Structure 1
């Protein structure tokens, strides 16, 4: 799908379907009303401003494992036959202490094989990663996951957006206090990365580093670590031990492919 830089001659994709977990749901990019926005909503808003009648669905639900995404989201997304489909999943799997990587690869094969034939452009991602106790243990499996995504992208003609390889997305200032989800600024950069991967004209350099900042002192770091352990790490471990998920009982964010009223959300500022 080649897209002209002139919206008058080629407005661009007329529909977008996003699949995934909390990353695609938009945590932790909070709106004033307490709902989550995130990179997929930002991308949809920009595409809607370019293409009258643009339609958008977001099937993502926080906490979902790859098997749940494949079972619950892939078939509905494939049936929508959108111009653009984004598929991001597997990080919740590789962060668990025990994982069957053969099963993960098989699930990815199933998902990409089902999605690629029916959409104009399939977008896969290497999710961003920063250093910390939750991500470092799973880093080798993350890289194995991304290597397999590259193989599938080459086989099916999908686009891969490499967020994992962007140093700026490892900057702690782009991550929420839970150290698992991006801030509004991080989501904005992801939206720009996908926008550019679709061949649309760049609005900013999403890889540009943040301005230098003085590192926090030892006391500040320790206090932040303690708050993180109490408010985020302990509950996360508790859910893993009991088999619960933050997404249990939650519906898809935007389950139907419907016209998207973008307003000014996601437009250049």
Structure 2
């Protein structure tokens, strides 16, 4: 089967993934989530006003669940472009197998590119800079990123290699839970994917650092901040793990059907 035609217009975009692709951290469940995939769709719609866009992502999903639940619907939609971003929820579990997680991602890469679709993905930043308790996860993140790059290379998948740039660790790009991007972070991700796809109007500005932050906090303030974060976010997350529940339980995709995109 012929491979993807990178010169062909993108008229249908489908996003697969977990909470980051769903848009958690950019808006809320009352007013609605935007997120990097929505922002990328807006960029695409400026290039092709007839674009339609579906977002199948659901928070809490691990790579195997994205594979099992979202790939078949995505294939049925026959996208010109698909983004596949998953694996963070796998990294956070006590048991993590980088080969297994990357295997699910590669199976999705293969199936989607096999239809002629262009596909893009991301690598993940080391969370230790934002969450000191997460520093032991660094080897897992590095292992998964290496496998993502290898699988993407085998299937001609574009990689927004966010892991290679220090700016992605700037706390100002992250929401208070430190797991999901804030609106400026979602915009950076959208810009990174657009750049990886070499879309017109994209460039490497997303890699550049933010202006210097003049605010300073002392050690005691930092300790208080960490304790507040642990109570507000880490504690509830641990409770869900102990109960075997997920933030995505009972949820379905926010945009399961391709719809026209309104450009702000």
Asked if TM exceeds 0.5, the reply is yes
Aligned with 1:256: secondary structure? Answer: strand
Q: Which residue of 1 aligns with 2:225?
A: 224
Q: What do residues 225-265 of structure 1 show as CA deviations (whole Å, max 9, x unaligned)?
A: 111011100011111121110000001121112222x131x
Shift of 1:32: 9.8
Q: What do residues 141-191 of structure 1 show as CA deviations (whole Å, max 9, x unaligned)?
A: 121111111111111111111011111010111111111011100111111
Q: Is the 8 A contact 1:85 1:119 kept in 2?
A: no
Q: Which residue of 1 aligns with 2:193?
A: 194
Q: Which residue of 1 aligns with 2:235?
A: 234
Cα distance in 2 between the residues matched to 1:41 and 1:14: 15
Cα distance in 2 between the residues matched to 1:239 and 1:31: 20
Which runs of 5 or more residues in structure 2 are unaligned? none
Give the CA RMSD over aligned residues.
1.9
Aligned with 2:26: secondary structure? Answer: coil
Aligned with 2:205: secondary structure? Answer: coil
Q: Is the 8 A contact 2:98 2:147 kept in 1?
A: no
Q: Which residue of 2 aligns with 1:154?
A: 153
Shift of 1:203: 6.2
Q: Which residue of 2 aligns with 1:206?
A: 206
Q: Which residue of 2 aligns with 1:120?
A: 117
Cα distance in 1 between the residues matched to 2:133 and 2:14: 29
Is 31-40 or 117-126 further displaced after alignment?
31-40
Paired residues for 1:173-188 under 5 Å: 173-188=172-187
Q: What do residues 184-242 of structure 1 show as CA deviations (whole Å, max 9, x unaligned)?
A: 00111111111112212226711111111133222321221111011100011111121
With the length of structure 2 as denominator, give the TM-score of the two structures: 0.90
Which runs of 5 or more residues in structure 1 are unaligned? 4-9, 265-269
Shift of 1:99: 2.0
Cα distance in 1 between the residues matched to 2:146 and 2:203: 29
Cα distance in 1 between the residues matched to 2:230 and 2:211: 28
Q: Which residue of 2 aligns with 1:27?
A: 24
Q: Confirm whether residue 86 of structure 1 aligns to residue 83 of structure 2.
A: yes
Q: After TM superposition, what 4+ stretches of structure 1 lie above 6 angstroms from structure 2?
A: none
Aligned with 1:107: secondary structure? Answer: helix
Q: What do residues 27-66 of structure 1 show as CA deviations (whole Å, max 9, x unaligned)?
A: 1011695321111001111211221221100000011111
Q: Which residue of 2 aligns with 1:100?
A: 97
With the length of structure 1 as denominator, give the TM-score of the two structures: 0.89
Give the length in aligned residue pairs.
256
Aligned with 2:65: secondary structure? Answer: helix
Cα distance in 2 between the residues matched to 1:63 and 1:32: 15
